[in-house]
Copies of this chain bind each other. A is one copy, B any other.
Amino acid sequence: MTRFAFIAGETGAWRIASVTGVSGEPLVAAARLAVVPAAVAPATAAAWRLDGVVSNVRYATRAEMGELRAQHAPLNRPQARRAALIPIKKSDSWWALAQDERRAIFEEQSHHTALGLKYLPQIARQLYHCRDIDQPFDFLTWFEYAPEHAAAFEELVAGLRATQEWRYVEREIDLRLESDLAQV
């Protein structure tokens, strides 16, 4: 699996516009964020570094995967100059649930996939798993969108936070980022 490093410090393609501690222990602020394959991540000092791996789907059915693919939005679109990185950690009680119980909360009650689909292809999204790789969070979710879809993104995030699933989130940070590349 490809492991990526999210490195906050003085360099990186993304300017960190804000770092908000939503719940639990916060993360310190920094000027910029670099997102690189962990294999080539520099060993230099950073404010912090979070790693995650792209892995197989854990809840999506074949029908849902088909819908997600039909609406797929790639990362790195030139107009997507806004991004958000939302690291979350779920409680032990979440992880002690059986697969059918987690699936029921995730989709049948919280409509997690259906909610994300509503905002495709405007809001691109990539999930990174980190619970099994000795990291402080369970997931890093990365979103990319054009500035004109900022309000839609707020709606999506608010929608997710209002779900039953989010009652199991015990630590959450919300980083907002801006790219100046397309403005050059």
With contact pairs A56-B95, A58-B58 given, residues A131 and B1 touching in the complex (Cβ less than 8 Å): yes
Interface presence of A83 (CB below 8 A): no
CB-based contact B132/A98 at 8 Å: no
Give the chain B neighbours of A98 by CB distance below 8 A: 57, 60-62, 64-65
CB-based contact A100/B132 at 8 Å: no
Distance from A151 Cβ to chain B, minimum over Cβ atoms (Å): 32
From A65, A100, A132, A134, name the one whose CB has the most chain B CB atoms within 10 angstroms. Answer: A132
CB-based contact A61/B129 at 8 Å: no
Total identical chains: 2
Residue in contact with A129 in the complex, picked from B3, B96, B103, B132, CB distance below 8 Å: B132
Distance from A64 Cβ to chain B, minimum over Cβ atoms (Å): 7
CB-based contact A60/B134 at 8 Å: no
Interface presence of A99 (CB below 8 A): yes
CB-based contact A57/B99 at 8 Å: yes
Interface presence of A180 (CB below 8 A): no
Using a CB–CB cutoff of 8 Å, the interface residues on chain A facing chain B are 1, 3, 53, 55-62, 64-65, 95-101, 103, 129, 131-134
